[in-house]
Structure 1
Amino acid sequence: MIRSKLVSQYAAVWARAADEVLPALAALEPLRHTPHLKYKIVFSVVVLAFRAVISLRDRRLNEVKSLLGLDPETSSSDPHVARLLSAATRVLHTTAHNFPLGEAERTVINQVVSTLREYPCLASCGALHALAAAACRAAWALSLHSPPMRIDTDFTPVVMNPEKHVRFSPEGRDGRDRRSDLIKSFVWPALMDGGRCVFRAVVLT
């Protein structure tokens, strides 16, 4: 899959989050008293999805080494090991569209639900499960590309950078918020291709 299609896949997951998941979460009665929580949940899903699939990828590659009698800790700086891992990664990349990711998806949902135990309704939210599946699928393809694309994990900026951030304006908010460049929270992380931002982070100001 070419890199522009990977970016489009990532963008499509955000579109799903904005169009379907945020409204579904807002409709859950327990969450109506904490209107900003839905943004944190959506943000957590995509961050956890990347962590889960990268962990899964590394475990699968270590299993390949183990099957051939190599210590999983064997350094990939060994040229033979490096070629083996490169070939295994290419195989995973060719099957990225249908590789079973149920383990990663369950990890994401379980972490969200266990962190927010006071909101058991999240466990049965179909839109949230669908977002976890879509986020894991996109993250899996991105993490297997050569070189891998990653989400920007620098969530400390307090001022918007137009090259890396775009403002999200929920319905019902007045124009005063739009004039502020101070970031209150992140809704969706930026996607990075090396040092270049290819999909800007969505933020609340």
Structure 2
Amino acid sequence: MVGRSSRFESTAQGDQRPSALVRRYGSLYAQARVDTLDALDAIPQLRDADELKSKLLFSVVVLGFRSVQNTVSDMKAQVRRALQIPAQLNSDPRVIELDASVDDYLRANPDACDVSRNVEEVCAQIWATLYDYPCLKGCAGLTRYVCDCVRLAWALSIHGFVLEFETRAFRRELHVRFHTSDHRSERIRTYLWPALLQAPRGPCVHKGVVIT
């Protein structure tokens, strides 16, 4: 697999290699999501709220990506401010090279950034949205899932991966149908899991799971 910088991934990167991260993204759906659903099922108020639970676990992934992407953008903006680079020079080749250097540093040091604030941000958004379910705050399985999603979102984002969940028509190169889907319909009713793209408008490296 070729990364965004067009260099082949190095085996020295271990579990931070892009191909390993994509596999972890698949495992997040296949295993961590299932484990978290089990933890939520143990909460009496949520036992029969299947749609809410599915939307919650989907939202955690989306919110996690959004939070860490904002953090990376803020880091780059802080570097530009420290160097007193005016906004009108953002498209200057030297500024683009500077941003690329920040990306290279983050990829080389994936654990250098503390993502605990991102975890707190995602949790706060969930608690605020689902204020009718204060029981969620005490669900250790959900908190663990948020942490796993945010950490993986960070690792994927610094390699340039993005989520795709805006397409409303089923596309075989982007989606797989959940077993409850109407296979005669091409209209996507619900996303259970976002597709993962190698880059914005890039190839799909892990298909999203949808209900048509």
Q: What is the TM-score with the length of structure 2 in the denominator? A: 0.82
Question: Are 2:31 and 1:24 aligned?
Answer: no
Deviation at 1:58, TM superposition (A): 0.6
**Equivalent residue number for residue 76 of structure 2:** 61
Q: For residue 70 of structure 1, what is the amino acid of its counterpart?
A: I
Alignment match, 1:166 = 176
Structure 2's unaligned 5+ residue stretches are 1-15
- Sequence identity of aligned pairs in percent? 34
**How far off its partner does 1:166 sit?**
2.1
Pairwise CA distance, 1:21: 0.7
Tell me what 1:186 maps to: 191
Residue equivalent to 1:37 = 52
The SS at the match of 1:36 is helix
- Look up the equivalent residue of 1:112 and give its one-letter code: I
Counterpart Cα distance in 1 of 2:31 and 2:114: 21
Q: Which amino acid aligns with 2:174?
A: K
Q: Flag structure 1 segments of 5+ consecutive residues without an equivalent.
A: 170-176
Aligned residues: 193
Q: State the 1:179 CA deviation.
A: 5.6
**Is residue 155–residue 186 contact of structure 1 (8 Å, CA) maintained in 2?**
no
Aligned alpha-carbon RMSD (Å): 2.0
TM-score under structure 1 normalisation? 0.84
Kindly state the Cα deviation for residue 7 of structure 1 after the two structures are TM-superposed.
Answer: 0.7
Say whether the 8 Å CA contact 1:168–1:202 is kept in structure 2. Answer: yes
Counterpart of 2:120? Answer: 106
Please, which of 111, 118, 122 is the counterpart of residue 136 of structure 2?
A: 122
Partner of residue 153, structure 1:
165
SS at match of 2:50: coil
Q: 1:196 aligns with which of 188, 197, 203?
A: 203
Match of 2:209, as an amino acid?
V
Q: After alignment, is 102-111 or 7-16 more displaced?
A: 7-16
User: Structure 1 CA distance, aligned partners of 2:17 and 2:64?
Assistant: 21
1:174 alignment partner in structure 2: none
